[in-house]
Amino acid sequence: MNVKLTNGKVIPIEMHKIRIVQKANLVPIDRRLEAIEEGGYNTVLLRTRDVFLDMLTDSGTNAMSDNQLAAMMVADDAYAGGESYYKLKDAIKDVLGLEYYLPVHPGRAAEHLLGRVFVRPGMVIPMNYHFTTTRAHFEMCGGRVLEIYGHDALETESSNPFKGNLDLEKFQAVIDEHGPENIAFVRMEATTNLIGGQPFSLENLRAVSEMASKHGILVVLDGSLISENAYFIKRREAKYMNATVAEITKEMMSLVDILYLSGRKSACVRGGFIATNSKELFEKIKPWLPLFEGFLTYGGMSSKEIEAMAVGIREMVDINVASSSADLIEYFVNRMVEEGIPAVTPPGGLAGHVDAHKFLPHLGSFDYPAGALSAAIYIASGARPMERGTISLDRDENGNELASDIELARLAVPRRVYTMAHMEYVVDRLKWLYANRNLIGGLKFTEEPPVLRFFFGRLEAVDGWGKKLAEAFKADFGADC
């Protein structure tokens, strides 16, 4: 929650008490250089013993609540018919208003099932923006992802509160060109991950839903960050200023045919599900669940996580939970902007994002600026960001490199894990890095996997710039920090 101080300054205040903590470790600069070289300049391949602030992702890294942990103790570990399934069913019904659900072990398993059931070769899937696993799954089924975002969605500095909106004219053009029968579904992603966690408005979702239903096209919502999107609607869409996050969330649900999500984000637990009010759609997907995930009443999730998810789904629409990372991100982004760092604005969900093209204008897309900046941030701070740019985009079917629309170093802010002091530290190191940005060079693949290459890909620093950066850091701060 944001609170205003006597001097007018607004700060994000924690609406929880921190009673269990995990020790953090800041290894010295020489070890950080060694670690990133061992990890092939890919922050995904670092070991956490070498990481001070793990800002790689908010996926499965949030702090769970006492009630979530307590719920795990009463899980019903049955293979079939377990009571835990029904507790989550009740929570989904109460909070989201959806009758039917299928648990899956993570969000991408939901994408796999949706692809298998609804995507046929040659079909298109229009969406406000893709996510890495989304695109890979739908393309694997022979579909083609069409990104139909608004004209300024990729402008990293902006005052548009809803850069995640779908462009309705482009949607109409897609319908006219391909015909509704060749559109597997339209997908909306809550706080579009890859373009800076930017939300869509409820007005936009309603318009998408109306257009889609006029043509018999299904609306699928990726709600991995659903409560954050609802919170942004409350903060930014005048009509909903007085609505609760819970009311907004339910209204969003009334506009979609299928919801799927990774529970690892808003719901603060590891797992996911697909939910719908249509028995027909539910029955279409259901037979595939035991083949790929597990029986209907656990879907590959542990019963403990299902119990924790039932609590997490109820808690995520509490404004103090929905705002817990969004408000800290807002503070973080505003501080970056104050220090002249090219952060993505307005602040979004999931993370504070730095525009790597603006930070490193001397690098081209195929020098992998977002990857280079992410590695440099780790070297300078021990915080590990994630590359969200050209490395995260796989080659096309002819093996050609594709330049990402946008090059971001993503510094995730998991819920209830880090504090303002942590953010201040990262901002300070980013400031130092920005002043020394000419020392940061490009990256080159030494090992490049064929799919989702950002996970296991290994790279090297062109002309060994990592060493020079570490030397400059030591000259300013010494070797111990």
Active site residues: 79, 131-132, 222, 265, 388, 454
Specify the stretch interacting with ligand F0G by CB under 6 A; choose among 129-137, 374-382, 390-398, 461-469. 129-137
Alpha-carbon distances, residue 203 vs 95, 213, 233 (angstroms): 21, 15, 10
CA 12 – CA 20 distance, rounded (Å): 20
Candidates 10, 16, 6, 8; CA nearest to 319 is 16
Residue number, 134 or 204, with CB nearest to ligand F0G: 134
57, 68, 128, 198: which one binds ligand F0G (CB under 6 A)? 57
Query: For tokens 């609505």, what's the residue?
Result: 243
32, 87, 89, 108: which one binds ligand F0G (CB under 6 A)? 108
262 binds ligand F0G (CB under 6 A): yes
- Retrieve residue 348's tokens: 């979004």
- CA-CA-CA-CA torsion sign (72, 78, 83, 88): positive
CA 62 – CA 81 distance, rounded (Å): 29
Residue number, 71 or 226, with CB nearest to ligand F0G: 226
CA 233 – CA 290 distance, rounded (Å): 37
228 binds ligand F0G (CB under 6 A): no
Q: How many CB atoms lie within 10 A of CB 82?
A: 18
Query: For tokens 């949607």, what's the residue?
Result: 171
Is the separation of the CB atoms in 366 and 377 below 8 Å? no
Q: Tell me, what amino acid is at 106? A: P
Q: Identify the H or E element spanning 275.
A: strand 272-276
Residue number, 108 or 353, with CB nearest to ligand F0G: 108
- CA-CA-CA-CA torsion sign (134, 136, 141, 142): positive
Give least dist CB 262 to ligand F0G, A: 3
222 binds ligand F0G (CB under 6 A): yes
Specify the stretch interacting with ligand F0G by CB under 6 A; choose among 3-11, 131-139, 391-399, 459-467. 131-139
Give least dist CB 79 to ligand F0G, A: 23
Specify the stretch interacting with ligand F0G by CB under 6 A; choose among 1-9, 31-39, 103-111, 283-291. 103-111
131, 171, 231, 465: which one binds ligand F0G (CB under 6 A)? 131
Is the separation of the CB atoms in 163 and 232 below 8 Å? no
Q: How many residues does the chain have?
A: 481
Residue number, 189 or 327, with CB nearest to ligand F0G: 189
189 binds ligand F0G (CB under 6 A): yes
Residue number, 175 or 383, with CB nearest to ligand F0G: 383
Torsion of CA 54, 55, 58, 60, to 10 degrees: -20
Residue number, 355 or 367, with CB nearest to ligand F0G: 355
Give least dist CB 466 to ligand F0G, A: 24
Alpha-carbon distances, residue 153 vs 156, 200, 346, 405 (angstroms): 8, 11, 11, 10
224, 297, 325, 390: which one binds ligand F0G (CB under 6 A)? 224
Give least dist CB 439 to ligand F0G, A: 28
32, 250, 264, 353: which one binds ligand F0G (CB under 6 A)? 264
Specify the stretch interacting with ligand F0G by CB under 6 A; choose among 102-110, 114-122, 277-285, 299-307. 102-110
Count residues near ligand F0G (CB under 6 A): 15
At 265, give phi and psi (nearest 5°).
-110, -95
272, 299, 369, 457: which one binds ligand F0G (CB under 6 A)? 272
Residue number, 108 or 453, with CB nearest to ligand F0G: 108
106 binds ligand F0G (CB under 6 A): yes
Alpha-carbon distances, residue 463 vs 359, 433, 434, 442 (angstroms): 19, 18, 20, 9
Alpha-carbon Rg for the chain, nearest whole angstrom, is 22
193 binds ligand F0G (CB under 6 A): yes
Give least dist CB 157 to ligand F0G, A: 22
Candidates 309, 134, 289; CA nearest to 220 is 134
- Retrieve residue 60's tokens: 């499965």
Give least dist CB 36 to ligand F0G, A: 19
42, 43, 59, 381: which one binds ligand F0G (CB under 6 A)? 59
Residue number, 133 or 244, with CB nearest to ligand F0G: 133
Give least dist CB 305 to ligand F0G, A: 12
Query: Taking the mean position of all CA atoms in its chain, how far away is CA 87?
Result: 26
Give least dist CB 264 to ligand F0G, A: 5
CA 169 – CA 142 distance, rounded (Å): 25
Specify the stretch interacting with ligand F0G by CB under 6 A; choose among 44-52, 126-134, 142-150, 288-296. 126-134
Burial of 362 per CB tally in 10 Å (0-12, 13-18, 19+): exposed
Give least dist CB 9 to ligand F0G, A: 31
At 450, give phi and psi (nearest 5°).
-75, -20
133 binds ligand F0G (CB under 6 A): yes
Binding residues vs ligand F0G (CB under 6 A)? 57, 59, 106-108, 131, 133-134, 189, 193, 222, 224, 262, 264, 272
